[in-house]
């Protein structure tokens, strides 16, 4: 198992550290050739307009779309925006996941906050039934999901903050900024399924 992290801008190092703690090989992706041989890709948080601008400049837009058709991809925060079909304003997007996002949805006063979320899907990868401590930083909301999208987590008021569509995953918050690796394990399981690898093989390299 070898997982790439899009390393154009944002907190890619933190994702890489979580994966390496789990014993997974990683590679920073900056050029199309870096996608070769990967089993999945994480798009980190940061600034989605900057990530989109750099991905366009580095000729990555089409290679990323092609990669995502047959591999698991997970976007956190800005990465979730970049993965979406619709961010309501013009900016370069991969346009893959059938979600509409509202950027910076929490306004100035509560730009950043932390909250415990119930995420039943995590029970597929862990016996730990505790809520997931989610860190939101100038986060987007997932305002609308298409019929093929599964909602994985909502805020107490019902607003959507994590979703999955087949082998694509989007979270508004930053699991890489906590020491709880359950979302990374969920993503690894998705990547292993997409690559048709058993998860124990996936985790032992």
Ligand X SMILES: NC(=O)CC[C@H](N)C(=O)O
Three-state SS at 1: coil
CA distance 183 to 79: 15
For ligand X, the binding residues (CB under 6 A) are 45-48, 77-78, 81, 103-104, 137-138
User: Taking every pair of C-alpha atoms in the chain, what is the biggest distance, in angstroms?
Assistant: 45
45 carries a ligand binding annotation: no
Helix pair 61-70, 48-57: axis angle to 10 deg:
100
Please indicate if the annotation marks 47 as binding a ligand: yes
Measured at the CA of 97, the angle between CA 136 and CA 106, to 5 degrees, comes to: 25
Q: Does 130 appear as a known binding residue?
A: no
Shortest CA distance to 139 belongs to which of 81, 69, 62, 187? 81
Min CB(137)–ligand X separation in Å: 4
Annotated catalytic sites, by residue? 77, 174, 176
Q: For residues 79 and 6, give the distance between their C-alpha atoms in angstroms, rounded to a whole number.
A: 9
148 known member of a binding site: no
For ligand X, the closer CB: 103 or 184: 103
Shortest Cβ 8–ligand X spacing (Å): 13
Task: Provide the minimum distance between the beta carbon of 81 and ligand X in the complex, in angstroms, as a whole number.
Answer: 5
C-alpha distances in Å from residue 150, one per residue of 36, 52, 95, 126: 29, 25, 17, 19
Give the nearer residue to ligand X in terms of CB position, either 47 or 98. 47
Return the number of the residue (77 or 195) whose C-beta is nearest ligand X: 77
For residues 48 and 165, which CB has a smaller minimum distance to ligand X in the complex?
Answer: 48
Rounded distance between C-alpha atoms, residue 100 and residue 49, angstroms: 16
Q: Name the binding residues for L-glutamine.
A: 46-48, 103, 137-138
Q: Name the binding residues.
A: 46-48, 103, 137-138
């Amino acid at each position: 198992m070898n997982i790439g992290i899009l390393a154009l801008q944002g907190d890619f190092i933190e994702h890489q550290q979580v994966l390496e703690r789990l014993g997974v090989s990683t590679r920073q992706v900056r050029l199309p050739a870096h996608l070769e041989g990967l089993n999945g890709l994480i798009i980190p948080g940061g600034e989605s307009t900057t990530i989109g601008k750099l991905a366009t400049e580095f000729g990555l837009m089409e290679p990323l779309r092609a990669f995502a058709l047959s591999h698991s991809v997970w976007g956190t925060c800005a990465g979730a925006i970049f993965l979406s079909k619709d961010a309501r304003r013009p900016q370069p997007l991969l346009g893959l996941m059938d979600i509409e996002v509202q950027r910076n949805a929490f306004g100035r006063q509560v730009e950043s906050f932390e909250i415990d979320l119930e995420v039943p899907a995590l029970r597929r990868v862990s016996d730990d039934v505790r809520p997931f401590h989610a860190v939101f930083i100038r986060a987007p909301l997932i305002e609308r999901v298409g019929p093929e999208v599964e909602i994985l987590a909502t805020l107490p008021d019902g607003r959507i903050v994590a979703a999955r569509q087949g082998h694509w995953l989007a979270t508004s918050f930053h699991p890489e900024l906590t020491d709880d690796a359950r979302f990374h394990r969920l993503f690894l399981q998705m990547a292993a399924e997409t690559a048709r690898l058993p998860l124990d093989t996936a985790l032992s390299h």
